[in-house]
Amino acid sequence: MTEANDIRKVVIVGGGTAGWMAAAAFSYLLDTSRTQITLIESEAIGTVGVGEATIPPILLFNQMLGIDENEFLKRTQGTIKLGIEFRNWLRQGHSYFHPFGDFGTAIETVPLHHFWHRQKQAGLPTPDLFEFSLMAQSARHGRFMRPVTDNPKSALAGIHYAYQFDASLYAAFLRQFAEERGVVRMEGKVARVHQHAETGFVESLTLDDGRELEGEFFIDCSGFRGVLIEQTLGAGYQDWSDWLPADRAVAVPCEKVSDPCPYTISTAHEAGWQWRIPLQHRTGNGHVYCSGFTDDQTALDRLMQNLDGRPLADPNPLRFVTGHRKAFWHRNVVALGLAQGFLEPLESTSIHLIQQGIARLMANFPDRSFSPAARRAYNERTLWEYERIRDFLVLHYTATERDDSAFWRHCKAIPHPEQLKEKIELYRETGRIERNDHELFTESSWLAVMHGQGIEPESWSPLIERFPVDEMQERLDRMHHVIGRAAEAMPSHSSFLAEL
C-alpha cells in the first residue's frame, strides 16, 4: 500500500441525517487537507426528517466527535430517552416498558430474572419484573440524572439513556460541525452519474445546473431513492415485508401539553402502531401501518384522534418497503441511511445503523484498490446486523394475544426467522437468553420484550436451587427497595432540561 493510492476525493450524495452524520465523522477522522470531502444536497428534494428517537450508542457517536451534550440537547430541542413504553401490543389495555440498562443485578452470575420467575412460581408476593429496572422506574416517575462516576457500586452508576431530538436540527448541527472542519457543501440535484466503461465504478456526477464533480469514493445518502447504489449500480433490494408487513407511515408534530417525559410511547392500533416522541418544543407523532389492512384516510384519522395537542404542520405521508440493499457497499459506492435499507422505527434503530455503517467504514476505509475482501466483510457484517434487528422487531409483532383485527391475526401467523425461533425456544425451555457479542440488543432488551409480550419460561437455571426461596425473597425485596430509592433520588427530567 502506498500513499499514492490513498483516496483523495470523497463525495457524499445527500444531506439528511445520514449525509451529515457521515460528513461530520469523516471531517473529524480524515485529514481534510489531504482528502477533499464534498456533500451534495438538494433543498428542492428535501429530507425525510422524521428520525427522532435513538438508542444509547448515539452517545458514543457524539462523544467521538467531542460534542458537548448540553449544547447538543439545546440545539436539537432534545430530551432524554430511558426506553419505550409499549401500549396495547400484547393485548388491548396492556402496557410494558422496554428500558435501557439491566434488570437489577445478577446473583452469583445468574441473571435476576431466573430468581424472579422461581419466586413467582412459588406464589410469593413479588413486584412486577419491570420494577427491578432503574430506568423503567425513573421513566415512570419522570426523573433523570447522568450516571454517577465516582462510585461504581451505586445503583446510580447504572443509568443508561439515549436522546429524542429534532432530526432536522441535528442535521443542521452536524452540518456546521462538518463545514467548520473543511467539508464543502454543494446545493444541487444529481442529474447524471458517469461510470468507468470497464469497471463500472462511479467516476463523476453532473448536477442539474451542469456543474461536474469528480470523486474516487462515493457515499450514497440520497434516501429511499438510492441515486447511486440502486438507480446507477442496480444493487438490488431484498424485500422483508413477509416478516415486517407495515409499508406506510404518516407523521405529524403537535403542540406539547405537558412537560416532556423521558421516554417514547408506542401504541398498537388495528393495522399498525403510533409513536409519540416528546421533545422540548413539541411532540413528534406518527402512525406506521400496513396498507393491505387499512387505507390512508383511516390511518390518518387514527393518528389525528390520538394527538395530545394541536397539530403544528400538515401530515407527512411516507411509503417504504422493509428490507435492505443486496449489497451495502458495491464497487466504489457505500450506501448509508435510507439508501441502505429500512427497518421500521419500532425500536429506533435507523440512526444507529447509520452510525454503525460509518464506524464499520472507518474500520475498513479503502484505498483506491477497493479490496474486494474488505467490501465482502463489510457487507456480510452489515447484513448480519440487519438480520438480528429484524428478528427483534418480528418478536414484537408475532408474540401477541391480539386477534381483534385481520392485521394482528396475520402477524401472529408470520413464521419466525430461524435464529429468533431458537432464541424463543431457549428462553421458554430454560429461561436463558443467548446473545452474540456483536448483537445490538442486550439480554435485558430481549428479556423486556419477551416478558412484555407474554413469553414465559417453563424453567430456570438449576444453579439457583442452592439459594433457599425465603432467603431470596429478602434479597429481592432489598434490591427492589434500593432501585426504588435510587429512582426517587433523581431530579425530575424537566429540571434536568431546565438546567441545560
Ligand X SMILES: Cc1cc2nc3c(=O)[nH]c(=O)nc-3n(C[C@H](O)[C@H](O)[C@H](O)COP(=O)(O)OP(=O)(O)OC[C@H]3O[C@@H](n4cnc5c(N)ncnc54)[C@H](O)[C@@H]3O)c2cc1C
Residues that bind ligand X (CB under 6 A): 13-19, 40-42, 45-54, 167, 189-190, 221-223, 225, 227, 249, 251, 286, 318, 320, 337-339, 345, 348, 350-351
Q: What residues act catalytically?
A: 81
Provide the minimum distance between the beta carbon of 19 and ligand X in the complex, in angstroms, as a whole number.
Answer: 5
Check: CB of residue 403 under 8 Å from CB of residue 91.
no
Write out the three cell numbers for 62.
457524539
Residue closer to ligand X by CB (options 48, 169) is 48
Amino acid at 439: E
Check: CB of residue 419 under 8 Å from CB of residue 438.
no
> How far apart (Å, rounded) are the C-alpha atoms in residues 264 and 13?
31
Residue closer to ligand X by CB (options 115, 329) is 329
Q: Map residue 460 onto helix, strand or coil.
A: coil
Residue closer to ligand X by CB (options 51, 431) is 51
Check: CB of residue 158 under 8 Å from CB of residue 148.
no
> How far apart (Å, rounded) are the C-alpha atoms in residues 47 and 287?
19
Amino acid at 322: T
Check: CB of residue 396 under 8 Å from CB of residue 416.
no
Residues 6+ apart with CB under 8 A from 310: 254, 255
Residue found by looking up cell 427497518 in the block: 343
Write out the three cell numbers for 135.
430506568
Provide the minimum distance between the beta carbon of 478 and ligand X in the complex, in angstroms, as a whole number.
Answer: 37
Residue closer to ligand X by CB (options 77, 222) is 222
DSSP 414: P
Write out the three cell numbers for 247.
409499508
> How far apart (Å, rounded) are the C-alpha atoms in residues 227 and 221?
8
Residue closer to ligand X by CB (options 192, 478) is 192
Check: CB of residue 417 under 8 Å from CB of residue 387.
yes
Provide the minimum distance between the beta carbon of 224 and ligand X in the complex, in angstroms, as a whole number.
Answer: 6
Provide the minimum distance between the beta carbon of 209 and ligand X in the complex, in angstroms, as a whole number.
Answer: 12
Residue closer to ligand X by CB (options 104, 188) is 188
Provide the minimum distance between the beta carbon of 377 and ligand X in the complex, in angstroms, as a whole number.
Answer: 23
Check: CB of residue 135 under 8 Å from CB of residue 99.
yes
Provide the minimum distance between the beta carbon of 205 and ligand X in the complex, in angstroms, as a whole number.
Answer: 8
Residue found by looking up cell 396475520 in the block: 410
